[in-house]
Amino acid sequence: MPEEYPLTTPTNDERILGVLSHILAIVPGVGILGPLVIWLLKKDQSQFVEANARESLNFQLTIIIGWIISGILVVVFIGWLLFGVLACLNVVLVIVATVKASENMIYRYPISLRLIK
């Protein structure tokens, strides 16, 4: 099951930070820095915020790795298609995760390397 409920009900501020940790990842110019800053600042203060920011951070790292691979595969033209697929996947899954965080849930991205634990 890709989403889970936190052990305690998050406060309104925690819920907002959980939502921001996902949505900031697709804002141009912010990208991976949004979830990284939230995770670094709140990882020891809130289980809900830490879990959402960690999931967002892991997914964005996975997307960056995918873009690097796509950049290499551009030489054989399949990279262009992979760039489009990754961009669409990034937007759709971030929106799903944002909605789940607004519903006080922790969303686990289905296609994500668990680099940060």
Please tell me the distance from the alpha carbon of residue 5 to that of residue 10, in angstroms, as a whole number. 10
* Confidence at 1, pLDDT banded by 50, 70, 90: very low
pLDDT reading at 90 higher than 80: yes
pLDDT reading at 112 higher than 70: yes
- Note the pTM of the prediction, 2 decimals: 0.88
Write down the pLDDT at residue 10: 86
DSSP per-residue codes, 8-38: SPPPHHHHHHHHHHHHGGGSTTTTTHHHHHH
In a domain, 19, yes or no: yes
Tokens 């995918």, residue located: 66
Q: What range defines the domain where residue 77 resides?
A: 7-104
pLDDT reading at 9 higher than 90: no
Write down the pLDDT at residue 6: 66
Structure token digits, residue 65: 């790795």
| Angle CA 11–12–16, to nearest 5 | 120
Write down the pLDDT at residue 16: 94
In a domain, 2, yes or no: no
In a domain, 49, yes or no: yes
Instruction: Give the model confidence (pLDDT) of 20-37 as tens digits.
Output: 999 999 998 888 999 999
In a domain, 90, yes or no: yes
In a domain, 113, yes or no: no
Total domains in the chain come to 1
In a domain, 109, yes or no: no
Going by C-alpha positions, the residue among 70, 67, 78, 3 that lies closest to residue 31 is 67
In a domain, 114, yes or no: no
Residue 73, C-beta contacts closer than 8 angstroms, at least 6 positions apart: 79, 82
In a domain, 117, yes or no: no
